Amino acid sequence: MKGPKTARPRATSSHTAEVGYKRPPVHTRFQRGQSGNPRGRPSGRKSFQTLLNELLAQKISIREGDKVRRVTRAEAIMIAMINQSIKGNPRAAKMVLEATSGSEAEEPLTVVIRKFSDVNSSSTQRWYGPSRDDG
- 7-30 pLDDT per residue, tens: 555 555 555 678 999 999 988 888
- Tell me the domain boundaries of the chain: 48-123
Note the pLDDT tens digit of each residue in 85-115: 999 999 999 888 888 776 554 455 555 555 5
Q: What is the pTM of this model?
A: 0.46
Instruction: Give the separation between CA 92 and CA 77, rounded to whole angstroms.
Output: 11
| Under 8 Å between Cβ of 72 and 58 | yes
